[in-house]
A = this chain, B = another copy of it.
Amino acid sequence: MKYKKKERQEKLVEMIEETPFITDEELANKFGVSIQTIRLDRLELSIPELRERIKNVANKNWNETVKALPIDEVIGEIVNLELDNLAISILDIKEEHVFSRNQIARGHHLFAQANSLAVAIINDDLALTANAEINFTRPVKLGERVVAKASVTNRNQKRTKINVRSYVQDELVFEGIFKMYRSTEK
């Protein structure tokens, strides 16, 4: 649906606040305007481009937050992390992630993003995956951006249960329930 400029810019601000990692292309599609129009809107509104928005978030030094592994061993880029509660990471699907034949992302990369997020969320020095149930709900293509959201759903004794849902835009592409061992009880 088409909005007038003022209305569109108001909605644009709202939308970027709600989903800060939305791309200009996605915004253009949502508003039915060109990417160039979105860029001009952002310029007028002084909203930095996506890369800058991610950097701002990434600048929070997650390295000091993550406990269970060094941050460079996390697959994907962490953009939010509250230990033993929730975590979000972004993975851009590039050539090295896809089957050469059909340009579909290989399952183990989506799994690696989700699994390493499930490790990173643990507020402990040791976290190992005990088991997982996973679903690939729709193929992910080259060039798509996968946002994985992990949340701790249950914790007892030495096990912590973590639900990870990964999305491309609003579409669920992967879902996993991970049960993790950890070194200490609380």
The list of the 8 closest CB pairs from A to B, nearest first, reads A108-B112, A131-B135, A107-B129, A133-B133, A132-B134, A107-B115, A111-B111, A108-B115
Using CB atoms, name the residue of chain B closest to A75. Answer: B108
Copies of this chain, count: 2
Interface size class of A (residues with CB under 8 A): 20 to 34
Q: Is the interface of A mostly helix, strand, loop or mixed?
A: mixed
Beta-carbon contact of A100 and B70 below 8 Å:
yes
Beta-carbon contact of A133 and B131 below 8 Å:
yes
C-alpha spacing A90/B47, complex, angstroms: 51
Question: Within A71-129, which residues are at the interface with B (CB < 8 Å)?
Answer: 73, 75, 99-102, 104, 106-108, 111-112, 115-116, 125-126, 128-129
Beta-carbon contact of B126 and A136 below 8 Å:
no
> For A108, what are the chain B residues with a Cβ–Cβ distance below 8 Å?
75, 108, 111-112, 115-116
